[in-house]
Amino acid sequence: MFDLEKIYSKNASNMRKSVIRELLKLTQQPDIISFAGGLPAPETFPVEDLRQAADRVFTNSPMKALQYGTTEGDAELKAELIKFEQRQGMKLGADNLLIVSASQQALDMMPKIFLDPGDYVIAGRPTYVGTIQAIQSYQGKILGIPFSPENDGFDLVELEKRYERARRDGRRIKYIYVIPDFQNPSGICWSLAKRKALLEFAYRENLLIVEDAPYREIRFIGEHIPSLYLLDQAGEDRGIVINLKTFSKILIPGARVGWIIARPEIIGKLVIAKQAMDLCTNVFTQCWLAEYLKTGKIYEVIEKTCGLYRDKRNHMVKMFEKHMPKRWDLTWTEPEGGLFLWISLPKYIDTDQMIHKAVAEKVAYVVGSAFYFDQPEHNAMRINFSYSSMGKIEEGVKRLAKVITAEIDAHEAGPRGQTSVEGV
């Protein structure tokens, strides 16, 4: 057989395997406590209501649900989603919506329709690994912007500085990618002031904003802050925000259904792209979710999920306070929503190295370096609090604290001590 590497496209050669999905395989041994995944808590899945909704599809509209559907998405599901979004103040028509095979497909479509090889996207440092992968698979690049020390959004001084430098260097920047609500991986939620400032920046520089909002409804502390999409719509209404939503975190991920909200011209282009990608999203599932949404019970599920995650997040933070070494250079975010904490460790700890020790102690996390397009930080990790039970959270944090403490002790004992720990 000839050399496949010579046949692959540059896109393919540029693709990077998902560290997370590889880690997930590693951590599927039952005795490992894994804080690595991004899995919602299965106890929030409304199994019986979903079963009944599916059954109604088989009774009422099987021939529609089992047949091909339109690329734009099922009209009934879209009508239900318009009602859902209206509760947060968004005004949408059917031509503002495209049903997609969950957020990751939307994240793949953005570089597909906007990026030529070498083009740039502005995004956080760190940012969601699936976004990095999608951009890389089209040979796009990321201009990374660090977050402010207040954890309220981008560091705006850095944004201006890095943007200016990139422009001076002739970089083509196509859009800004942000997760304003409880960012993956950091848990950071953007303040209203920072949201407005980002919108102004985008207006001034003629940039689109891709607002990825899978965790938006999963706020368990504090008040909702308007989305960038709504701020634009209720303000200058320039239509520069593309909003990405999904059922994965607010209902079930196994349905693989999400929706893109944008101005009709952009939706139109995305429809053409999607025709060539998969013709249409799973039709049966669209009908099924439309049936489920008609019951109005999703709001109860979201409320229950928020309550559960609040308890888990509080428990995890408490366990961190109880078990972790107390040091100025060991910190964690305390998010008001979402599924993740972000832990920053002393500079000399390399979480890429430490993961093997953690797995040996039967606890897993995602290495922080996975969330950087370039020049990764190595002294951080992402921790999921939604999936594990309360008991496992305590035990897992204990194990993690033990591993981290050993790293710190080894370092402080000097080279000899460090060698000894490594050698054991």
Which residues ranging from 229 to 248 are in contact with a copy of itself (CB under 8 A)? Answer: 238-240, 248
Coil/strand/helix, residue 342: strand
For the record, the structure tokens of 143 come out as 């201009």
Enter the tokens of residue 134. 């999608």
3-state helix, strand, coil in the chain (%, to 5): 50, 15, 35
Contact map string, positions 44 to 73, toward a copy of itself, x by CB under 8 A: -x-x--xx--xx--x---xx-xxxxxxx--
CB closer to a copy of itself, 127 vs 248: 248
List the x/- string, 254-283, binding to a copy of itself by CB under 8 A: xxx------x-xx--x--xx-xxxxxxxxx
Running DSSP on this structure, what letter comes out for residue 179? -
How big is the CA angle at 298 (ends 295 and 300), to the nearest 5 degrees?
Answer: 105
Give the x/- contact pattern for a copy of itself in 307-346, rule: CB under 8 A: ----------------------------------------
State which of positions 153-182 bind a copy of itself (CB under 8 A). Answer: 174-175
Site string for a copy of itself, 106-145 (x = CB under 8 A): -xx--xxxxxx--x----------x--xx-xxx-------
Nearer to a copy of itself, 113 or 192 (CB): 113
Q: Which region among 31-39, 148-156, 362-370, 403-411 touches a copy of itself (by CB under 8 A)? A: 31-39
Q: State yes or no: residue 417 binds a copy of itself (CB under 8 A).
A: no
Stretch that binds a copy of itself, among 5-13, 76-84, 293-301, 344-352 (CB under 8 A): 5-13
Half-sphere exposure of 107 (CA within 13 A, CB side): 23
Q: Whose Cβ is closer to a copy of itself: residue 41's or residue 197's?
A: 41
β-bridge mates for residue 124, sequence order: 145
CB atoms within 10 A of CB 358: 26
Q: At 334, which amino acid appears?
A: E
Q: Where are the alpha helices (DSSP H) in 248-382?
A: 264-278, 283-294, 298-323, 351-360
Residues 178-217 that bind a copy of itself (CB under 8 A): 206, 208
Rounded Cα gap, residues 330 and 294, in angstroms:
47
